[in-house]
DNA sequence: TGCATACATAAGTGCATGCTTATATAATGA
DNA sequence: TCATTATATAAGCATGCACTTATGTATGCA
């Protein structure tokens, strides 16, 4: 994929969205594939409405896509976004988040979403 | 320089600071060398106190260093910061800001600070 | 049909943020 | 010494933001 220059204002908007611990963790989790809302709630140890509201911001900015399957909604990174490469690059600087998901599995809490 | 992993929380803090049009522009300008406050004021077309307050946030986070020379204060990127490499990487995705400085010079407004 | 589950949305609240105006500090130069 | 220039800081204000609680919506299943 070709590296695109992102204007200051949209770039700042994306960075602002990433500039929140919760959302940065969400994006970090999505690096390794899609997740459903209930997984975020478990991993982040936050209320469901709070998580939903963060996801809405990310979706409004089109940083993530949603896929509905049954009663679940799966979120994933939107690789078509202008800032996708920048986000991927940023994610190389933060710790792997998928470990949190495997811990979930150990606890048997990743029961939903299949 | 060795690439360091930055924990989620400090990473989010840095991204939050960059997630503002004004501060992102300031950091972009500093990529090409140090600038003094009056230059920022001219380039950004903002009030001096507002610029100073943004610089203070960047300085409090140690993203930038200051150097006093006469009545001027020159700011520069702090290459010792844990997030320096990440910031440099992010800057490769946004437009060059130094053009704004050369425009200043054309206008003869980069008179101070020598 | 009715209940449970997964998720979204709305409304309210407290705190953070970015600006403005006014003033302080510090260096320079007449 | 006094005015000027460069910068910082303080206080006030309007807006934004992240949370909570309460409720709405949609799907699945007995």
Q: What percent of chain B has pLDDT over 70?
A: 93
**A63 touches A77 (CB < 8 A):** yes
The band of B100, judged by pLDDT with boundaries at 50, 70 and 90, is confident
The answer to whether B89 contacts A89, with C-beta atoms less than 8 Å apart, is yes
What b/e sequence results for B75-108 when a residue is b if at least 16 CB atoms lie within 10 Å of its CB, and e otherwise?
Answer: bebbeebebbbbbebbbebbeebeebbeebeeee
Q: What is the pLDDT along chain A (114 residues), one digit of tens a residue?
A: 788 999 999 999 999 999 999 999 999 999 999 999 999 999 999 999 999 999 999 999 999 999 999 999 999 999 999 999 999 999 999 999 988 888 877 776 554 565
Best of A1, A5, A92, A93 to mutate (most B CBs within 10 Å, chain B): A93
**Domains defined for chain B, CATH in brackets:** 8-106 (1.10.10.10)
Nearest CA-CA partner of B76 in B36, B34, B41, B43 = B34
B58-65 average pLDDT score = 98
CA–C1' span, B107 to C29, in Å? Answer: 26
pLDDT of residue A44: 97
DSSP string, B60-98: HTTSEEEEEETTEEEEEE-TTSTTHHHHHHHHTTS--SH
Structure tokens at B45: 């077309």
pLDDT of residue A70: 93
The reply to whether B49 Cβ lies less than 7 angstroms from strand C is yes
pLDDT of residue A2: 80
The band of B77, judged by pLDDT with boundaries at 50, 70 and 90, is very high
**B16 touches B24 (CB < 8 A):** no
pLDDT of residue B110: 54
The answer to whether A24 contacts B15, with C-beta atoms less than 8 Å apart, is yes
């Amino acid at each position: 994929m070709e590296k695109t220059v992102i204007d200051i204002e949209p770039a700042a908007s994306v960075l602002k969205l990433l500039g929140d611990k919760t959302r940065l963790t969400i994006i970090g989790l999505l690096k390794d594939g899609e997740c459903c809302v209930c997984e975020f709630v478990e991993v982040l140890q936050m209320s469901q409405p709070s998580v939903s509201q963060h996801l809405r911001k990310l979706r409004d900015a089109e940083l993530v896509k949603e896929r509905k399957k049954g009663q679940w909604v799966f979120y994933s990174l939107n690789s078509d976004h202008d800032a996708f490469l920048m986000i991927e690059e940023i994610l190389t600087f933060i710790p792997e988040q998928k470990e949190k998901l495997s811990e979930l599995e150990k606890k048997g809490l990743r029961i939903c979403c299949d």
